[in-house]
């Protein structure tokens, strides 16, 4: 994984798990690797991995079965969708509109696609 964005790495890891949930690669009740396994896969510190998992746990996207591991929550996809839609409308859309205005274009460009 290449941590190129300006976001903290722990958020980028959480985002990538959410993306895999959206794409269907990770489904309801699927097990995800332990903090250390995932850390070894990505070459990332256990603290950072733990923060990613804590965030997803807090949002109810992932749940923890004691002694067994971490799993994708049954309603994870709905939660991620709602979250990312809100995020897209709040951040990406204004950025796109701003860029369109800067380039002397308007939203009609989308109709041509």
Partner 1 sequence: MIEINNLAFSFGKSPVLQGISMKLEEGKIYGLLGENGVGKTTLLTLLCGLKRPGFGDISVDGRAPFDRLPSLLQEQFYLPDEVMPVRATPAQFASERACFWPKFSFINYEELLREFEVDSTQRMDKMSAGQLKKTWIAFALACGARYYYMDEPTNGLDIPSKAQFRKALMKYTSDDSTMVISTHQVRDLESIIDPIIILDSKEVLVMATLEEIAQKLTFDYGKELHPEALYLEQTPGGAIQVYPNTTGEESKVNLEAFFNTVHSHKDVTKQLFK
Which residues bind to partner 1, rule: CB under 8 A? 3, 5-9, 11-12, 36, 39-48, 51
Q: Give me 6's structure tokens.
A: 């300006």
Compute the distance between CA of residue 80 and CA of residue 75 in angstroms, rounded to an integer: 9
Long-range interactions of 85-88: CB distance < 8 A, separation 24+? none
CB of 55 to partner 1, least distance (A): 11
Q: Is 70 helix (H, G, I), strand (E, B) or coil?
A: strand
Q: Is 25 helix (H, G, I), strand (E, B) or coil?
A: coil
Question: Which is closer to partner 1, CB of 48 or CB of 76?
Answer: 48
CB of 72 to partner 1, least distance (A): 22
Question: Which is closer to partner 1, CB of 9 or CB of 57?
Answer: 9
CB of 87 to partner 1, least distance (A): 14
């Amino acid at each position: 994984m290449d941590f190129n964005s300006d976001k903290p790495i722990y958020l980028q890891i959480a985002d990538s798990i959410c993306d895999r949930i959206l794409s269907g690669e990770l489904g309801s009740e699927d097990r995800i690797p332990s903090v250390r396994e995932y850390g070894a896969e990505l070459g990332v510190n256990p603290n950072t991995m733990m923060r990613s998992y804590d965030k997803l746990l807090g949002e109810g996207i992932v749940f923890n079965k004691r002694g067994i591991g971490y799993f994708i929550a049954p309603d994870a996809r709905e939660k991620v969708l709602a979250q990312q839609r809100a995020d897209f409308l709040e951040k990406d859309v204004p950025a796109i509109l701003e860029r369109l205005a800067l380039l002397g274009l308007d939203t009609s460009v989308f109709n041509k696609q």
